[in-house]
Structure 1
């Protein structure tokens, strides 16, 4: 009998020791653990967390973190959507996150092509004002401020999750994240945190807006060679906008005649019932095309080449907010505005919109071309690698402009342009796209995908990212 209390004390000490050890590592993150998710029949075997990261004394960026299906993984993948002003939860639920919507029921189900099978995944809603992220002050919203906020938020993430500090970090995203990501990586490399700097290994940008001028120029060619306008307008463009047949600069308005011809092309591409983000996909709602007036198009077109957006109302007249043209955001908007969902993911009760119109209007862009930033990153970080991939049916940030951008960086090609393939479930080998390699940079296209590559071609996108991270030939 006298031995039993001693044994109990020993067991109690052991249990408390485990709890204390656990809390010492991750005590700050426990309040953010998602223990249930409405609409999901069974929680996955890995943990999901949602909450806020501190970007300043007044700013909080909402994050959603998914552990890898392999708990031993030492890979951490960050994801940012673009806009500027659009939520990264779009990427989580619609593109490459562990859960997605079942169209028929609106419930959430597991995504078989989730990137958290490749590593731990962290989605950050940035900048402040986007999604559930907020600022209690009236700070300016611009490229440099967004960069500083993102860097502070990442540092705060590692305070919440210190056991992931030694992970190899890959920063990914799409569209205007083509600006966010290089600036963030540059800030990390210039920061005094040697551990963070050492662990950043690469970036993976899908249909990125890397050069406004190149993107504008290439769109004119892309639209012509995809049959969106004919030879008459093509010849008129060269008459009014080009110094000669080999010297055309369509991103600068030369004269009124040139401006009118370019406006006609922009109307065809973005305002005439064609899906800007996937040329061969349907435009989901006819009302969007009708509501995208020339005035509204002009208002947003020159603010943001990556997201030409329109206001849309659902059939029940509930405001969905600013929505990418021809897109259907009903399921995700209704889901994330459910009180039980907001309670489950530990966010302040708030109206969630896929894109924030105020952020889009007020955001000040100061980096129209990312060439020098990317070159500086390569020069600073010897083992850093880059994947720039483009869905070849996207017109918002088209693959032709992406290739022009890569070519003008001036790096020597190690592997000339060629196809890359995937093996389908039936065992057949299919062409997934085309790619070329430089020293530490890969440019790739994904055949038949639009602006949101993981949504349109989930298996191909997953395969491409896996090969890149594992440094396999594409």
Structure 2
């Protein structure tokens, strides 16, 4: 239990630090000496509803090619509500956490060939901070609202501090884009460099929406040089092919999360990116 607790405490201390671009110098129970540079901290963003949010990020630079020229890959776990730190420690990051809470080397890490950025999104997921609350309002009604807010965060909804009706993927997209723009202000060396977005599960919703926002928002290609997207085991099927159509349709209609009907959007984004980069579609 102690090894697990020590690793968790280290991660939390890193997350709670008042840092924006801070180099990670050491990690507990790491079984190898990293041959790459890594940074962690917070990216400030807004869902568009009047309040700023701080999303936790972890950047691992390339270990086997020149980090100064290697492309940048944004990795997003899905869920909804899954921390991208899980991808860092259990999927494609340079570390693999074993059952003794030790960090082993991952010989198939993506940062062998690229600089990989992990972001916990939306706010309240993983090590990202939740939205603002009033700590002086301590009563059953406040607790009910907090519990509901936690449940909405679990479904990757993004209630704003002044507009609780803004519960949809568009708010999360604005949050992700804002965090990404803050990243480029903290790391200007990545501006204009080849950029890819990858992820799994509900990232099948996050990724095409973020890619569209980058292109349609005029951030391509001088700032964010988006070259492509990759979705593994993604959620993007239409309703009539969904195994959970009946028990999720009411939630989708009420809350605006996109369980289905994203495949056309995804295709349009891929086609747009390919055309912008000179490929025939």
Find the counterpart in structure 1 of residue 92 from structure 2. 96
2-side partners of 1:112 and 1:181: how far apart?
26
Larger Rg: 1
SS of 2:221's equivalent? Answer: helix
Stretches of structure 2 that go unaligned for 5 or more consecutive residues are 1-18, 134-158, 161-165
SS of equivalent to 1:106: coil
Moved over 4 A (4+): 300-304
2:53 to 48, 52, 59: 59
Uncovered stretches (5+) of structure 1, i.e. residues with no partner: 1-27, 220-249, 254-297, 305-361, 386-438, 441-474
| Displacement after TM superposition at 1:370 (Å) | 1.2
Q: In structure 2, which of residues 151, 155, 168 is the aligned counterpart of residue 142 of structure 1?
A: 168
Deviations 1:199-233 (A, max 9, x none): 101011001111242542xx5xxxxxxxxxxxxxx
Higher deviation after alignment, 65-74 or 162-171: 65-74
TM, length-normalised to structure 1:
0.43
Task: Give TM-score scaled by structure 2 length.
Answer: 0.71
Instruction: Decide which of 119, 125, 145 is 1:124's aligned counterpart.
Output: 119
**Within 2, Cα distance between the matches of 1:196 and 1:129?**
31
Contact 1:209–1:215, Cα closer than 8 Å, also in 2: no
Match of 1:376 in 2: 268
Say whether residues 1:158 and 2:184 are aligned partners: yes
- Say yes or no: does 1:176 pair with 2:202: yes
* Structure 2 counterparts to residues 244-283 of structure 1, below 5 A: 251=245
C-alpha displacement at 1:41, in angstroms?
A: 3.8
In structure 2, what is the equivalent of residue 85 of structure 1?
81
What is the deviation of 1:167?
1.7
Alignment of 1:167-246 (within 5 A): 167-195=193-221, 199-216=225-242
Using the alignment, how far apart are the partners of 2:82 and 2:256 within structure 1?
A: 15
Q: Distance in 2 between matches of 1:196 and 1:303?
A: 39
Contact 1:76–1:119 (CA<8 Å) still a contact in 2?
yes
CA distance in 2, matches of 1:184, 1:193: 11
Which digits, 9 at most, give the CA deviation of each residue in 1:146-169, with x for residues without a partner?
000000100100111111112211
State the Cα deviation string for residues 255-314 of structure 1 (Å, max 9, x = none). Answer: xxxxxxxxxxxxxxxxxxxxxxxxxxxxxxxxxxxxxxxxxxx6x79759xxxxxxxxxx
1:155-210, CA deviations, whole angstroms, 9 ceiling, x for partnerless residues?
Answer: 10011111111221110000110000000000001112243576101011001111
Q: How many residues align?
A: 224
Contact 1:143–1:367 (CA under 8 A) maintained in structure 2? no
Rate the CA distance shift 1:41–1:380 in 2: closer, same or farther, 3 A.
closer
* Alpha carbons of structure 1 residues 366 and 207: separation in structure 2 relative to 1, 3 Å: closer
Structure 1 120/214 Cα, relative in aligned 2: closer, same or farther at 3 Å? Answer: farther
